[in-house]
């Protein structure tokens, strides 16, 4: 039996046309994607942030050896890496949307966005390498 074209197929086609018009808009030029990523990272950052804050408070009364031992254990290493990556992805989108509101020249906007992106990537790389060094060097 041949499948009749369903209403949902027609709707999907229309949505695709609409989607094509809004793609590459927004401060990351990716339409809805960055909005979703901002919310998803926000959700992830609630438990990750609380875990990190509690850990830092606990570490505040200890020394480098304790901090290094803490970062060398698997669960803290993983959670700190996830916290840093989610936090920087969240910050990248947030800063880009701030820049988009106040920088009105195309070239300056691009320069600012590239600068923010570069800074986020360098900080992410340095943080992950630092944790990995401690984790792998046990």
Partner 1 sequence: MNRPLSPFMFPIWYRFQITSALSILHRLTGIALAVGSILLAWWLVSVAAGGELFAATHAFIASPVGMLLLFGWSTAFFYHLSNGIRHLAWDAGYGFELRQAYRSGYAVLAATALLTALAWLYVFLP
The single residue among 37, 44, 45, 82 that binds partner 1, judged by CB under 8 A, is: 45
46-85: which residues touch partner 1 (CB under 8 A)?
Answer: 46, 49-50, 53, 57, 60-61, 64, 67-68, 71, 80, 84
Are the C-beta atoms of 89 and 37 separated by less than 8 Å? yes
Shortest Å distance, C-beta 90 to partner 1: 8
Number of residues that bind partner 1 (CB under 8 A): 32
Instruction: Sketch the per residue contact string, 15 through 44, with partner 1: x for CB under 8 A, - otherwise.
Output: ------------------------x--xx-
Task: Dig out the tokens for 108 from the structure.
Answer: 């300056």
Question: Residue 63: CB partners within 8 Å, gap ≥ 6?
Answer: none
Shortest Å distance, C-beta 115 to partner 1: 12
Classified as helix, coil or strand, 2 is coil
Q: How many residues does the chain have?
A: 138
Are the C-beta atoms of 79 and 137 separated by less than 8 Å? no
Classified as helix, coil or strand, 89 is helix
Give the side-chain half-sphere CA count within 13 A for 123.
Answer: 15
74-133: which residues touch partner 1 (CB under 8 A)?
Answer: 80, 84, 87-88, 91, 94-95, 98, 123-124, 126-127, 129-131, 133
Q: How far apart are CA 97 and CA 104, in angstroms?
A: 12
Q: Which residues bind partner 1 (CB under 8 A)?
A: 39, 42-43, 45-46, 49-50, 53, 57, 60-61, 64, 67-68, 71, 80, 84, 87-88, 91, 94-95, 98, 123-124, 126-127, 129-131, 133-134
């Amino acid at each position: 039996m041949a499948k009749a074209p369903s209403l949902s197929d027609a709707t999907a086609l229309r949505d695709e046309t609409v989607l094509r018009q809004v793609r590459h808009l927004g401060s990351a030029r990716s339409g809805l994607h960055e909005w979703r990523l901002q919310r998803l990272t926000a959700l992830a950052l609630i438990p990750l942030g609380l875990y990190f804050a509690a850990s830092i408070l606990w570490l505040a009364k200890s020394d480098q050896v304790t901090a290094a031992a803490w970062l060398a254990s698997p669960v803290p290493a993983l959670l700190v890496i996830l916290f840093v990556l989610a936090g920087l992805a969240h910050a990248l989108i947030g800063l880009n949307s701030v820049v988009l509101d106040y920088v009105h020249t195309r070239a300056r906007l691009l320069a600012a966005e590239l600068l923010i992106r570069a800074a986020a990537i360098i900080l992410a790389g340095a943080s992950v390498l630092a944790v990995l060094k401690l984790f792998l060097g046990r």
